[in-house]
């Protein structure tokens, strides 16, 4: 949606690590309609899609008081009526992706950190995986791998920020 510029990185880090979750609300509320239309066009190709926020560790959740991907999911649910499910859990604490510079290091860093919650079945479901920022795609790819292995039919990744 938004280009992940130096300024965007600064604001997102403030929101995530300094408790300014209202900054995320601000970004979400000011996304241009053309971007929403692009998302809705993608969603229209799916059958009864479910929003799946990328999980964070319980300790990060406690520290921040929220999960930024869950805030995005809540906003999209309220705006477009899409159901949200926390199908994934983060089972390992890993180094923050933003602290790593290379694509291979980021890919290695997220390997095996997500698992499907044991009580859920996603066989043949269409899912929209949400993350706040996609730079290398390592986090989304690892979450997608877990979801596909569990039987998800189609996946779309969506983020608030991304690099071109």
Can you give the residue ranges of every domain in the chain?
2-162
Residue 123 confidence (pLDDT) above 90: yes
pLDDT at 122: 97
What integer is the mean pLDDT of 8-32?
59
| pLDDT tens column, 73-90 | 988 898 889 999 999 999
Q: Which architecture does CATH list for 2-162?
A: 3-Layer(aba) Sandwich (3.40)
Q: pTM for the whole thing?
A: 0.81
Which of 18-22, 61-65, 94-98 has the least mean pLDDT? Answer: 18-22
Q: How far is CA 62 from the centre of its chain?
A: 18
Q: ∠108-1-41 over CA atoms, to 5°?
A: 105
Residue 2's DSSP bridge partners are 161
């Amino acid at each position: 949606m938004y280009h992940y510029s130096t300024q965007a990185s600064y604001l997102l880090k403030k929101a995530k690590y300094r408790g300014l979750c209202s900054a995320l609300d601000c970004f979400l509320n000011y996304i241009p309609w053309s971007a929403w239309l692009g998302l809705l066009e993608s969603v229209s190709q799916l059958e009864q899609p479910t929003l799946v926020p990328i999980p964070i560790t319980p300790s990060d959740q406690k520290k921040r008081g929220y999960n930024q991907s869950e805030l995005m999911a809540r906003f999209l649910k309220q705006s477009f009526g899409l159901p949200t499910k926390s199908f994934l859990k983060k089972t390992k604490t890993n180094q923050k992706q933003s602290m790593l510079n290379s694509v291979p290091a980021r890919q290695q860093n997220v390997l095996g950190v997500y698992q499907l919650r044991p009580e859920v079945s996603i066989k043949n479901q269409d899912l929209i995986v949400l993350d706040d920022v996609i730079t290398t795609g390592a986090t989304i790819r690892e979450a997608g791998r877990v979801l596909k292995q569990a039987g998800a039919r189609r996946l779309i990744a969506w983020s608030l920020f991304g690099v071109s």
